[in-house]
Amino acid sequence: TTLGLVTTSLALHAPSQVAAAVKRYANAADYQVLIAMIDENVNQSLQNCINELKSQRVDKVIINVPLESSDAEQIVQENDDILCLFLDVDPYSAVFNVSFNPADGTRASVKYLYEQGHREFALLAGPEESVSANLRLKSWLDTLESYRLKPVSVSHGNWDAQSGYNGVLQLLREAPEFSALLVGNDQMALGVLSALHQRGVAVPGQISVIGYDDTYESAFFHPALTTVSLDLDLQGKEAVARLLLASEQDEQRSSSILPAKLVVRSSTG
């Protein structure tokens, strides 16, 4: 009657909202949730977290940690006494997962900006170590290429607001000529809006900004953020439901891919 959750930093908005949902839906099914949070050195400490949960008699665990498919498969192989469901892996990997389509929302973002007349795009992606950040970046690039465009510059942040703040200042130094900026998540977009405001750059007058996640706060940014909505509550709900249904038999472990949708607010025009 206890589920485990191993999560990346809860200082980040998306994982904290997923954790809240996992706890709520597990509790509603009369399960407790033990949370282990990992920060650095993902591969090493992930196994430690799993061991910690096993020692507390947990036999089903949700893993919200960015993992390459091969690393996730290795975790599964080395832990046959605990059932693992992954939230931050390539949706098409072989492991049991509930994840988001990494291409639909990104494609819609580029298309929307293109149709608004934008041709000069800058990209501020999430960390290079993150599978999801790279899949989002790849999809932006592929979509731009389908319009025969290349970004004027590309940079990476580490998901937090400070890195968005620094990142956009770097982009402006490298290639000031862009009218559209795609950002890997909402927290970095918050830093971007702050830096642009301080520089007197009008959003969306001079630069349109699109975030990613649609975390709860993004509707309250100034201007309200256009972003890609991930239903993080639904991800938590599906993860709990699928994990509780799953038995030792592989057939019952069905993965699912949730849609990501563009939500247009005031930071684009």
Establish if 178 lies at the interface with ligand IPT (CB under 6 A).
Answer: no
Among 71, 90, 213, 214, the residue binding ligand IPT under the rule CB under 6 A is: 213
User: Alpha carbon of 17 to those of 54, 126, 207: distances in Å?
Assistant: 24, 18, 29
- Stretch of 11-19, 166-174, 192-200, 243-251 contacting ligand IPT, by CB under 6 A: 11-19
Token code pair at residue 54: 């096993």
Q: How far is the CB of 215 from ligand IPT (least distance, A)?
A: 7
Among 23, 33, 38, 66, the residue binding ligand IPT under the rule CB under 6 A is: 66
Establish if 14 lies at the interface with ligand IPT (CB under 6 A).
Answer: yes
Establish if 75 lies at the interface with ligand IPT (CB under 6 A).
Answer: no
Q: How far is the CB of 102 from ligand IPT (least distance, A)?
A: 8
Cα–Cα distance for residue pair 234/199, rounded to 1 Å: 38
Establish if 88 lies at the interface with ligand IPT (CB under 6 A).
Answer: yes
Cα–Cα distance for residue pair 216/148, rounded to 1 Å: 35
Cα–Cα distance for residue pair 135/121, rounded to 1 Å: 18
Q: Do 100 and 254 meet the contact criterion of CB atoms below 8 Å apart?
A: no
For the chain, what is the total number of helices (H) and then of strands (E)? 8, 12
Contacts (Cβ under 8 Å, ≥6 apart) of 145? none
Q: Count residues binding ligand IPT (CB under 6 A).
A: 12
Q: How far is the CB of 15 from ligand IPT (least distance, A)?
A: 5
Among 87, 180, 209, 210, the residue binding ligand IPT under the rule CB under 6 A is: 87
Among 4, 15, 91, 151, the residue binding ligand IPT under the rule CB under 6 A is: 15
Cα–Cα distance for residue pair 258/224, rounded to 1 Å: 24
Establish if 25 lies at the interface with ligand IPT (CB under 6 A).
Answer: no
Residue 39 CA, chain-centre distance (Å), reads 16
Q: Please state the length of the chain.
A: 269
Find tokens 């959750």 and name the residue: 5
Establish if 236 lies at the interface with ligand IPT (CB under 6 A).
Answer: no
Cα–Cα distance for residue pair 13/190, rounded to 1 Å: 12
Establish if 93 lies at the interface with ligand IPT (CB under 6 A).
Answer: no
- Stretch of 8-16, 51-59, 164-172, 244-252 contacting ligand IPT, by CB under 6 A: 8-16
Contact residues for ligand IPT, defined by CB under 6 A: 8, 12, 14-15, 66, 87-88, 132, 159, 185, 212-213
